[in-house]
């Protein structure tokens, strides 16, 4: 990233923001991360030092579904993939100010919008290298960073609190 080349793209206009997301979004994880992405064990990984990108936007082929797991982590499932993936969601808007406690009412609201078919673009990314218990190597793990919904692409924390 070169901050000298950064430029302002829009000024809080929902249509412009959505069009920008739509313009950069890809239709598959493979288009974003390249052939180094391996889907396995309900997740996806890229070996350290491999892959085409670390962040991207995905237009999912089928609506994902959102839930809070038994540990209190917001998760997103892409069940049209083979194998399906169940990703952690790091969108801070879905958590209380402590960054750990899920806002269950908001998670349910977003899930209802997903079920209603609201067009969705997901910001997806890879974690820092991390070695899962029982694994032999550190890997970059696939995660969902943000959920963008066409009916309100600019929703902010302060609007929902």
Each residue's pLDDT tens digit, 86-96:
999 999 999 99
Is there a contact between 32 and 39 (Cβ–Cβ < 8 Å)? no
Question: pLDDT tens digits, residue range 111-139?
Answer: 999 999 999 999 999 999 999 888 899 99
Is the C-alpha dihedral spanning 160, 20, 115, 142 positive or negative? negative
Mean pLDDT, residues 15-39: 94
Domain assignment present for residue 84? The answer is: yes
Domain assignment present for residue 4? The answer is: no
Domain assignment present for residue 2? The answer is: no
Domain assignment present for residue 82? The answer is: yes
Please tell me the distance from the alpha carbon of residue 103 to that of residue 109, in angstroms, as a whole number: 10
Cis peptide before 74 (omega within 30 of 0): no
**pLDDT tier at 159, thresholds 50, 70, 90:** low
Give the burial class of 87: count Cβ atoms within 10 A of its Cβ; 0-12 exposed, 13-18 middle, 19 or more buried: buried
Mean pLDDT, residues 1-26: 81
Domain assignment present for residue 26? The answer is: yes
Domain assignment present for residue 1? The answer is: no
Domain assignment present for residue 136? The answer is: yes
Q: Are strands 74-78 and 55-58 parallel, antiparallel or unpaired?
A: unpaired
pTM, entire model: 0.88
Residue 103 pLDDT > 80: yes
| Domain range enclosing 75 | 10-160
pLDDT of residue 161: 45
Please give the share of the chain, as a percent, with pLDDT higher than 70. Answer: 93
Mean pLDDT, residues 144-157: 89
Please tell me the distance from the alpha carbon of residue 22 to that of residue 100, in angstroms, as a whole number: 30
93 secondary structure, DSSP code: G
CA distances to 41, 82, 130 from 134, in Å: 13, 23, 12
Mean pLDDT, residues 38-42: 87
pLDDT of residue 1: 57
Domain assignment present for residue 3? The answer is: no
Q: What's CA 105's distance to the chain center, in Å?
A: 19
pLDDT of residue 129: 95
Q: How many domains does the chain have?
A: 1
């Amino acid at each position: 990233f070169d901050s000298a080349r950064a430029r302002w793209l829009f000024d809080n206009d929902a249509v412009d923001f959505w069009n920008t997301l739509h313009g950069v979004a890809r239709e598959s994880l493979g288009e974003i991360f390249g052939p180094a992405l391996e889907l396995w064990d309900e997740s996806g990984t890229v070996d350290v030092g491999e892959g085409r990108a670390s962040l991207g936007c995905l237009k999912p082929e089928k609506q994902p579904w959102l839930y809070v797991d038994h540990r209190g982590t917001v998760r997103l499932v892409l069940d049209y993939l083979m194998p399906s993936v169940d990703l952690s969601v790091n969108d801070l808007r879905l958590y209380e100010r402590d960054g750990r406690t899920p806002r269950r009412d908001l998670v349910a609201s977003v899930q209802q919008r997903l079920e209603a078919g609201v067009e969705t673009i997901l910001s997806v990314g890879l974690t820092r290298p991390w070695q899962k218990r029982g694994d032999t190597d550190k890997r970059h793990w696939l995660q969902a960073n943000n959920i963008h919904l066409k009916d309100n692409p600019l929703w902010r924390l302060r609007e929902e609190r």
